[in-house]
């Protein structure tokens, strides 16, 4: 009897005990793991954006950024290995109506690393950090555009979707472009070529436009879906927070681009537009920030509603981190541009909440990865049925 009780404990301590073979880590690896790099990266950037600085806090923020580089590199290696050794299984993702959305997490995770080169790398490596960030940004912008165009195209042509099965994960491939726009806005003041500065700035505004209007349209559909069909399954609970992502990123993009525009426009003989662009960007950023307050309140209420039920852990919990983090950074950016102390206080509160969430989700992710329970590819489990079935959605974030 004692042996029977001890065996489950011992097997739980054994690494990858939930998998039939260690190679399943590669075979079952999916892009939703990159949501962890988004959450880790945005926490590092949010800590660096706080109005108060200390050597310890800066060291923690930089350490998280360096850790995130390692994490992103590991995930790239694992996902590349899946395409090399399990090509047929990897290809099935394109027909899956939910897992395919997580391709957008790859450029968004990379964007947090690019921003870190500008926040932390400048002090360590000088101009070399800017050059690295510049080339990575070109790659990131291309990947974001590819995700933002090809995934919706596959939604229109290869995948089966219905309003009752729709969730906020539809936002993921679309939002990547505006995240790249923010990174470009942070990069452009560090470029030395004046005409290139203007080109990159305009490209960032175009990236913003390729994302934010589409995301706002998706949010309208999401609102209708929840009113008519109510909340999705508890396994998709974290998707309730995803709506805050494009709103916070859209606001941050306007604020960052608006701050960079006057000097660049003036240097390129467009001084007459300089003050107007800055003013409109500030007003637009405030309006989006206010819109985000509504979705943030709704996300809190929805999460509390889910907590009344059994809330299963899955990788989707990382969906709580990046939207909250980018909204916090947008709030702190407003505190620098407006003489209203409440923005700084509220922004610091959001960063503290983000840190707590990151610790909770990170701890459970490490434990789930150790046991192997989180390595689940719904594309492989849906061989005998439609990839768009409700069971496919329920397991997608596992």
pLDDT reported for residue 275: 81
Q: For residue range 226-262, what is the model confidence (pLDDT) as tens digits?
A: 999 999 888 788 888 999 999 999 999 999 999 999 9
| Tokens, residue 356 | 């707590």
Could you give the residue ranges of the DSSP H alpha helices within the chain? 2-13, 24-27, 34-49, 55-85, 87-91, 105-116, 122-125, 127-157, 172-187, 194-209, 212-229, 244-267, 271-307, 321-337, 341-371, 378-381, 390-395
Q: What is the pLDDT of residues 113-165, one digit of tens each?
A: 999 999 999 999 999 999 999 999 999 999 999 999 999 999 999 999 999 99
Q: Enter the pTM of the model.
A: 0.92
Please answer whether residues 185 and 203 qualify as being in contact, where contact means their C-beta atoms are separated by less than 8 angstroms: no
Residue 317 to residues 65, 83, 119, 172, 351, Cα–Cα distance (Å): 20, 26, 27, 14, 17
DSSP 8-state symbol, 16: T
The string of pLDDT tens digits covering residues 1-27 is 445 554 455 555 789 998 999 999 999
Supply the mean pLDDT for the chain: 92
Q: Go through the domains of the chain in sequence order and give each one's CATH number.
A: 31-377 (1.50.10.150)
| Span 363-376, pLDDT tens digits | 999 999 999 999 99
């Amino acid at each position: 009897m004692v042996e029977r009780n001890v065996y489950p404990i011992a097997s739980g301590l054994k690494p990858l005990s939930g998998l039939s073979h260690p190679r399943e880590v590669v075979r079952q690896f999916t892009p939703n793991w990159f949501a962890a790099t988004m959450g880790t990266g945005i926490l590092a950037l949010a800590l660096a954006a706080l109005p108060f600085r200390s050597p310890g806090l800066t060291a923690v923020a930089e350490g998280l950024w360096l850790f995130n580089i390692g994490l992103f590199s590991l995930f790239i290696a694992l996902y590349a290995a899946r395409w090399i050794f399990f090509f047929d299984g990897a290809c099935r993702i394109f027909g899956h109506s939910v897992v395919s959305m997580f391709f957008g997490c790859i450029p968004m995770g990379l964007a947090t690393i690019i921003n870190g080169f500008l926040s932390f790398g400048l002090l360590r490596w000088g101009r070399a950090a800017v050059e690295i960030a510049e080339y990575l940004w070109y790659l990131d912008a291309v990947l974001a555009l590819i995700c933002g165009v090809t995934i919706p195209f596959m939604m229109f042509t290869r995948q089966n979707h219905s309003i009752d099965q729709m969730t906020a994960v539809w936002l993921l491939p679309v939002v990547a472009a505006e995240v790249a726009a923010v990174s470009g806005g942070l990069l452009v003041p560090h470029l030395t070529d004046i005409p290139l500065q203007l080109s990159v700035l305009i490209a960032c505004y175009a990236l913003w436009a390729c994302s934010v209007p589409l995301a706002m349209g998706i949010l309208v559909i999401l609102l209708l879906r929840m009113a008519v069909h109510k909340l999705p399954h508890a396994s998709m609970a974290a998707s309730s927070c995803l709506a805050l992502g494009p709103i916070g990123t859209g606001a941050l993009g306007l604020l960052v681009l608006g701050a960079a525009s006057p000097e660049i426009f003036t240097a390129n003989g467009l001084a007459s537009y300089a003050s107007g662009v800055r003013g409109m960007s500030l007003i637009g950023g405030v309006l989006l920030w206010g819109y985000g307050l509504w979705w943030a309140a709704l996300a809190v209420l929805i999460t509390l509603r889910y907590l009344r039920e059994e809330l299963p852990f899955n990788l989707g919990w990382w969906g709580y981190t990046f939207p909250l983090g980018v909204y916090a950074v947008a709030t702190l950016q407003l505190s620098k541009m407006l003489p209203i102390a409440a923005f700084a206080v509220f922004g610091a509160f959001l960063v503290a909440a983000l840190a707590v969430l990151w610790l909770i989700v990170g701890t459970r992710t490490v434990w789930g990865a150790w046991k192997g329970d989180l390595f689940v590819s719904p594309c492989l489990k849906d061989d005998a049925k439609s990839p768009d079935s409700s069971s496919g959605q329920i397991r997608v974030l596992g």
